[in-house]
Amino acid sequence: MNEAIKGNILTPSGWLNGTISFGERIAGIAGASADPGANADDYILPGFIDLHVHGGAGKDVMEGGGAVHAIAAIHARHGTTSMLATTMTAPPEDIDLALTAIGKAVRQRGKGEARVLGAHLEGPYINSGKLGAQPNFARAATIEEVHRLEKLAPMRVITVAPEISGHLELVRDLADHGVRVQIGHTLGSYEEGVAALDHGASGFTHLFNAMSGLHHREPGMVGAALAHAEFAELIPDLLHVHPGAIKGALRAIPRLYCVTDSTAATGMPDGEYMLGRHIVHKCMGGVRLPDGTLAGSTLTLDQALRNLVGLGLSLADASKRVSTNAADYLGLQERGRLERGAYADLVVMDRDLKLKAVYIEGERCDLNDA
Ligand SMILES: [Zn+2]
């Protein structure tokens, strides 16, 4: 199986106009450096990488079983070529069920599905005073429990509130064996954020949302992120964060990357859906709890890219924010970049940034398969 496609190819060293050939991996890229504004050819970009996905197509990761396959398939049709299936704060048996299914999906990717790289454990080790849309099953972690959960599925990212007693030791333990520990759902102070970073935390979960905000005499967790973070995730659906705050974060955090935090309602009509143990309502593109709290999104990363370009980012910069930076955060050298030897994870977009084709490890995904 060898394919070759032509267009404006975004490589680590800039735009080339030419041909990319690939099987499961990229075999070669031939062409001349070019300003894509000077022609009318398609864009060929690294496949999108989403490190925070709860659901889609009416399915929630917490259902376990085959739900994660349906979720990986709908996101693939929006250009996501690899992702982390993300759990909700829940009773232990629910988390076990979800992680067991994620572990299976990691071992076997189905046709037309994004590669599931592992789990993002979003809670239960969060602050019950800053739940956002998480059900109130928050509790303090024990290292033994986390090590048991890691056996069910590869744990790539874990969100914790560092101010909870015992959590700084957990941060150190997890960071020491390669888990990316993110600060989130937290009431922690600026100082507690800096302490967590010193103990090995390396990211922030949906920056600005569900964390103590910035005040100039009390900079809070947002202040810790803006002052010190190299990486942080952000939801650019333009509902969760004001465009001005997004622009500020882009100036402050060098490798800010975007996630969807997408729920079962993604790709579905308005109506009621499950988010973990909560019922949520989708209306006019927003997903909310009955009290109006935002409860994840219906965002997909192709729309995230268009939103970033709409905010004034160059396409090359926007592409990094939905792909390369997330790969770098996880330490994945073979994804998130179009270069010889990397996985052939790529998207083709027309001049209006509408998806024309998606390839996952060289396999072309059927975009119309509902
Ligand atoms: Zn989430």
d(CA 296, ligand 1 centre) in Å: 6
Per-residue pLDDT tens digits for 130-169: 999 899 999 999 999 999 999 999 999 999 999 999 999 9
d(CA 27, ligand 1 centre) in Å: 36
d(CA 117, ligand 1 centre) in Å: 17
Strand order from edge to edge, sheet including 271-275:
271-275, 278-283, 286-288
Mean pLDDT within 245-266 = 97
On the CB side of 59, CA atoms within 13 Å amount to: 19
The whole-model pTM stands at 0.97
Res. 370: pLDDT tops 80: no
Average pLDDT, the chain: 96
d(CA 8, ligand 1 centre) in Å: 34
CA distance 267 to 352: 20
Q: Which helix (H) or strand (E) is 84 found in, with range?
A: strand 80-87
d(CA 342, ligand 1 centre) in Å: 29
d(CA 357, ligand 1 centre) in Å: 28
Q: Is 261 in the active site?
A: yes
Catalytic hit among 94, 261, 302, 328: 261
Mean pLDDT within 258-283 = 93
Res. 193: pLDDT tops 90: yes
User: Which one has a higher pLDDT value, 63 or 275?
Assistant: 63
Where b means 16+ CB within 10 Å and e means fewer, 126-153 reads: bbbebbbbbbebbbebeeebbeebbebb
Rg for the chain, CA atoms, rounded: 20
DSSP state of 242: -
d(CA 263, ligand 1 centre) in Å: 8
Q: Which helix (H) or strand (E) is 339 found in, with range?
A: none
Instruction: Return phi, psi of residue 116, to 5°.
Output: -85, 115
Residue where the block lists tokens 């735009």: 15
Q: What is the pLDDT of residue 277?
A: 87
Per-residue pLDDT tens digits for 209-248: 999 999 999 999 999 999 999 999 999 999 999 999 999 9
- Band (pLDDT 50/70/90 cuts) for residue 174 is very high
Instruction: Return phi, psi of residue 52, to 5°.
Output: -155, 85
d(CA 15, ligand 1 centre) in Å: 34
d(CA 134, ligand 1 centre) in Å: 8
d(CA 74, ligand 1 centre) in Å: 18
